[in-house]
Amino acid sequence: MPPITRRTALSLTALALASPALIGRAEARARTITVASLFGDDKPETKIWQAIAATLEARLPGRFTVNIVKGGALGGEKEVAEGVRLGSIQGSLATVSALSGWVPEAQILDLPFLFRDADHVQATVTGPVGAELKERFSAQQFITPAFINYGARNLLTKTPVTRPEQLAGLKIRVIQSPLHTRLWSAFGTTPVGIPITETYNALSNGVADAMDLTKSAYAGFKLYEVVPCMTETRHIWASGVVYFGAGFWNGLTPEEQQLLAEASQAGAATFNRLIAEDEARAMETARAHGGRLLQPEALDDWRRGATGVWQDMAGTVGGLDRIHAIAGS
């Protein structure tokens, strides 16, 4: 490389002084986004961030570095959410259940037997209900550019359970939210709040006898080893959000905010597709390791017990009229 002459040095100095915006652009190019995933590279919870990172790099090359911390290394959903609010983590995914301590109104998406299928969920979160919930999340320092669908939650047990009365007396791991506690109490169980990253050990050690979870996460956490029976109750559709901390978000330029929102929305569509594909593979894995998929009996009895939660939660989520309007939409 030829030596830098005095004339060249003076020219570079003059250029920098004449264009201070160059410094700002250089600083903007160094922005790092640390995000948390509960799983490894092969799961949709990580692949969504890889997709978002690719979109950011394609649209604003070099502006962002997405640091994906995998395998639950930063904690469960609630611990990560607290880190996002504090600013030590910039973004993640979460079920609305995990964020219900901050936004209890979001539990309307968790009401049992409210949604017919994934399309019904999508129509709800992309309509007025979803828009209102985004505002409530924002008021609690969570910026949520997109909703995601983790799939339907099903019952997981150590021995076959196909009728609701068979649950009586069991200890069931629940998401730490009032709705899930009320739901499983209605079936005569003892709910135990346990972070998702600790459930395998809790089920192994007898702290819990059962739990509910999506098919994808069932295989992701290898829970077929400790609760080999899955009853396909599909009682709750596990809605979630792609979210960022308000402190981080407000430090972005309007251009960067728009791009990150668009990348998150595209990533959410990819995530929903990957979850559906992953569910099929997850059940193949579970069956290969002794897992069993059972169908519930007396479905009306399951619904009767579960929909009593609608009445209990009506005051929190906007009233029975709103619940029935979503159910019938």
pLDDT band of 306, cuts 50, 70, 90: confident
Q: Is the pLDDT of residue 315 over 80?
A: yes
Structure tokens at 208: 């819990």
CA of 119: how far to CAs of 147, 278, 324, in Å? 13, 18, 17
Please state, in angstroms and as integers, the Cα–Cα distance from residue 234 to each residue in 37, 76, 137, following that order.
Answer: 24, 23, 26
The rounded percent of the chain whose pLDDT value lies above 90 is 84
If you write DSSP's letter for every residue of 118-175 in order, what string do you get? HHHHHHHHTSHHHHHHHHHHHHTTEEEEEEEEEEEEEEEESS---SGGGGTT-EEEE-
Residue 93 in this model has a pLDDT that exceeds 90? yes
Q: Which residue has the higher pLDDT, 12 or 260?
A: 260
Classified as helix, coil or strand, 277 is: helix
Q: Which H or E run includes 242?
A: strand 229-245
Instruction: Examine the pLDDT at 305 and tell me if it is beyond 90.
Output: no
Q: Which one, of 119, 31, 116, 36, lies nearest residue 82 by Cα?
A: 36
Residues 6+ apart with CB under 8 A from 127: none
pLDDT beyond 60 at 74: yes
Could you read off the pLDDT of 154-205 as tens digits, one per residue? 999 999 999 999 999 999 999 888 889 999 999 999 999 999 889 999 999 9
User: For all residues of the chain together, what is the average pLDDT?
Assistant: 90
Beta partners for residue 148, in sequence order: 240
pLDDT category at 17 given cuts 50, 70, 90 is: very low
pLDDT at 307: 82
Residues 6+ apart with CB under 8 A from 198: 76
Packing angle of the helix pair 299-317, 178-185 (nearest 10 deg):
150
Report whether pLDDT(88) > 80: yes
pLDDT for 16 = 41
pLDDT tens digits for 107-129?
A: 999 999 999 999 999 999 999 99
Residue 322 pLDDT more than 90?
yes
The reported pLDDT for the residue numbered 3 is 46
| Burial of residue 231, with CB atoms counted within 10 A of its CB: 0-12 exposed, 13-18 middle, 19 or more buried | buried
Q: How does residue 304 score in pLDDT terms, banded at 50, 70 and 90?
A: confident
Mean pLDDT over residues 46-54, rounded?
Answer: 97
pLDDT for residue 27 is more than 50: no
Which H helix or E strand runs over 99? none
Q: Could you give the domains of the chain?
A: 12-327 (3.40.190.170)
Asked whether 274 and 79 are in contact (CB, 8 A), the reply is no
Nearest CA to 157 among 143, 144, 167, 145? 167
Q: What average pLDDT score do residues 212-234 get?
A: 96
